[in-house]
Amino acid sequence: MLSPADLRALPPEPHSVGRSRSPFCQAVGLGLAALARLLAGASIRWIASQPDTCQRVYFANHTSHLDALVIWASLPRSIRDLTRPVAAKDYWSRGMVRRWLAQEVFDAILIDRTDIKVHQSPVDIMLREAGTTHSLIVFPEGSRSVTGEVGEFKSGLYYLAKKRPEIELVPVHIDNLNRVLPRGEFLPVPLLSCISFGPPLWLERGEAKLEFLARARRAVMALKE
């Protein structure tokens, strides 16, 4: 439940429901979503889980620059409009096109990885931007995995869960996207990939940080079957 202090921290909501993007941006978004699904040959599986418009945090393994786009594109449109990827400011604000895509099309929340302040922690920014309606896409490993293994999770997911324990945390496993667009490449090879959404989990009462992060990581890896 939200504590009174948290509630005071939340409004004014910067993003009211269905913040109207221009029709052009919406069309670009639809086109990009279709293109991303086609290009990444993404098959989408919901395992013991259902698409829902309730507020969620989708957390996934990070393998490629395409990850956020493909997860976002894999969600049904009504949910996609309510879902905001959390992305690195240093990458997504470089160049006009990227900045425009991030801000206007994906409605991304950009986090400055180099300049983290105590009063402006990434988790606070994410929760403020999410308000009470938007869902988030996060990559708790922090950066893309080099080997393809799922790395250790950073603690942000734990603090998200601690501050807003009622939000559903949905594990997502991304398979083979690192071969579609590996680290350091900019031209994608159209192979087939698989996006698996798992059953939501929550922070248990009194669960320790490391314990929770390990459980969340196992939930992602379990989706690989």
User: Which residues bind to other proteins, rule: CB under 8 A?
Assistant: 41, 43-45, 176, 179, 182-183, 185, 187-194
CB of 194: closest distance to other proteins in angstroms? 5
Phi and psi torsions of 72, nearest 5°:
-55, -45
Q: What does the chain come to in residues? A: 225
CB of 99: closest distance to other proteins in angstroms? 26
Looking only at the bridges linking them, the beta strands covering 193-197 and 42-46 are parallel
CB of 93: closest distance to other proteins in angstroms? 27
How many other β-carbons are positioned within 10 Å of the β-carbon of residue 62? 21
Token pair of 129 as six digits: 């931007």
* Of residues 132 and 176, the one with the C-beta less far from other proteins: 176
For residues 28 and 51, what is the distance between their CA atoms, to the nearest angstrom? Answer: 23
* Of residues 68 and 180, the one with the C-beta less far from other proteins: 180
CB of 149: closest distance to other proteins in angstroms? 15
CB of 66: closest distance to other proteins in angstroms? 14
* Of residues 150 and 195, the one with the C-beta less far from other proteins: 195
* Of residues 39 and 157, the one with the C-beta less far from other proteins: 39
Amino acid letter for position 59: F
Contact 208, 169 (CB under 8 A): no
* Of residues 135 and 178, the one with the C-beta less far from other proteins: 178
For residues 172 and 160, what is the distance between their CA atoms, to the nearest angstrom? Answer: 17
